[in-house]
A and B are shown apart, each in its own frame.
Chain A
Amino acid sequence: MMQPQQPYTGQIFQPTQAYTPTTPQPFYGNSFEDEPPLLEELGINFDHIWQKTLTVLHPLKVADGSIMNETDLAGPMVFCLAFGATLLLAGKIQFGYVYGISAIGCLGMFCLLNLMSMTGVSFGCVASVLGYCLLPMILLSSFAVIFSLQGMVGIILTAGIIGWCSFSASKIFISALAMEGQQLLVAYPCALLYGVFALISVF
């Protein structure tokens, strides 16, 4: 960080008055004040998390391909925990199934997308996108806390939520991987994966 040079005020043998906390002290090396903020060090950027969440929640909003450049697993972790928590509220202690299915589903999507796209894709990117698009499923499982999803209304709602999740995921994937014209082909396996999550929520 470049600091503006302190102008020599001509006061010899007297300490300079304007001491700022961010003044670098090369004599002591990396001091406490030099370290970046904790969240920045951990790579948790709340603004980006919020942007990605909005992209998922608004299905018709055009996705920006560059938002998936950095792999952010903090948001997906929070969403998986929230999904498990809403299932817990409905009396289903199934955190293990959520994590297991997420891991296997991410692995499957990673293999498939690597095979289908011209440029490859990293596992972190796939996990990040699929995790973010789990957000509507949390709405479904919180609905299931109060109302049963096993009637006609439940079926229609489940189908709608699965469609919403897979549409958002495929939208982000094709904009990040430049796979125009193949949105349906990417959306279908996502729909199968979110369908399994929906099965956990419904039954």
Chain B
Amino acid sequence: MENMDDTSGSSFEDMGELHQRLREEEVDADAAAAEEEDGEFLGMKGFKGQLSRQVADQMWQAGKRQASRAFSLYANIDILRPYFDVEPAQVRSRLLESMIPIKMVNFPQKIAGELYGPLMLVFTLVAILLHGMKTSDTIIREGTLMGTAIGTCFGYWLGVSSFIYFLAYLCNAQITMLQMLALLGYGLFGHCIVLFVTYNIHLHALFYVFWLLVGGLSTLRMVAVLVSRTVGPTQRLLLCGTLAALHMLFLLYLHFAYHKVVEGILDTLEGPDIPPMQRVPRDVPAALPAARLSAIVLNATAKAVAVTLQSH
């Protein structure tokens, strides 16, 4: 069954093979010891039972081998280890730098290739969204609230990063996926600040000022980095225009999608000012002065008859 596997020759998969083979040798050594005792016992039971048992065992081993090889290749969390090797001072300085656009566009600007800061910022955004939704009193849908918040934030971070990376590939920009993830992740710092302030102080004017200032600063920073890494005015325009539009519109969406909930709930709780129901006498037509009472109680046919009678 070994020849069915397509080892494409990349070193990554070779390492996976090596790991797998080392682990198998250990497992085989243990299994052999266990099987020896087993065989003696089964020899008493009968040959047929032993054969079917061995076949089943082999199939199980082969399946397990395939699955654990795939697992050790793709779910190996150690690949991400270098991207989490940071100091608090570094994270702090990168957070502050994400709000300061740098005008140097002739030389590719440096992007910190780490994932700790962006991941924590995405989780912070989730927490802020959750807090905003909770203050609007939607307690019942708590499970969905958490799912919505996580889905929105992670979906934006991963989805827009991938999309911009794809556009960067089309526009021939020098940026890797990791750098894009890190750049967009740190760009969410501005979003966190704006939402944290405006979910607690409900003033539309304040939100718009913050949206332009803080959101604009973090967008400008990302745009400057991308411009420095792209050649050609059309490509720069396409890439940076898309990123700027998506980033600013996301902040707008986050504010209004969850802010409206707050306003809606407030309206429902307080209610518009309606006076209690009042009985108002209805206007009765002047053509039926004598039959005023009957005009109210009679139906349309009777009214028509009354009118014809009156005209005579």
List residues of chain A with CB under 8 Å of any chain B CB: 97, 111-112, 114-116, 181-182, 184-185, 188-189, 192, 195-196, 199, 202-203
Contacts and interface: CB of A to CB of B under 8 A. Distances in A.
Contacts of A115: 77, 80-81, 83-84
A195 B84 contact: no
A114 B137 CA distance: 37
B151 to A, nearest CB: 14
Contact of B130 (A116, A189, A199): A199
A181 B90 CA distance: 12
A192 B81 contact: no
Contacts of B137: 203
Contacts of A189: 120, 123
A185 B130 contact: no
Contacts of A97: 142-143
A97 B80 CA distance: 30
A182 B87 contact: yes
17 contacts: A97-B142, A97-B143, A115-B77, A115-B80, A115-B81, A115-B84, A185-B87, A185-B116, A189-B120, A189-B123, A192-B120, A192-B123, A192-B127, A195-B127, A202-B134, A203-B134, A203-B135
Given A97-B142, A114-B77, A192-B123, A185 B131 contact: no
Contacts of B142: 97
Contact of B120 (A114, A188, A202): A188
B120 A196 contact: no
B86 interface: yes
Given A115-B84, A182-B87, A184-B88, A199 B123 contact: no
A185 B116 CA distance: 9
Contacts of B124: 192
Q: Taking each of B81, B88, B139, which has the highest tally of chain A beta carbons within 10 Å of its own beta carbon?
A: B88
Contacts of B86: 185
**Dominant SS at the A interface?**
helix
Given A196-B130, A202-B134, 16 more contacts: A97-B143, A111-B77, A114-B77, A115-B77, A116-B84, A181-B87, A182-B87, A185-B88, A188-B120, A189-B120, A195-B127, A196-B127, A199-B131, A203-B135, A203-B137, A203-B139
> B interface, how many residues as a size bin?
20 to 34
A182 B88 contact: yes
A182 B124 CA distance: 19
B91 interface: yes
Contacts of B83: 115
A112 B84 contact: yes
Q: Which 4 A-B pairs have the closest CB atoms?
A: A115-B84, A184-B88, A203-B134, A116-B84
B19 to A, nearest CB: 16
Contacts of B131: 199
Given A115-B81, A192-B127, A181 B134 contact: no
Nearest to A101: B146
A192 B127 CA distance: 7
Nearest to A115: B84
Interface string B84-118: 11111001000000000000000000000000100
A192 B125 CA distance: 10
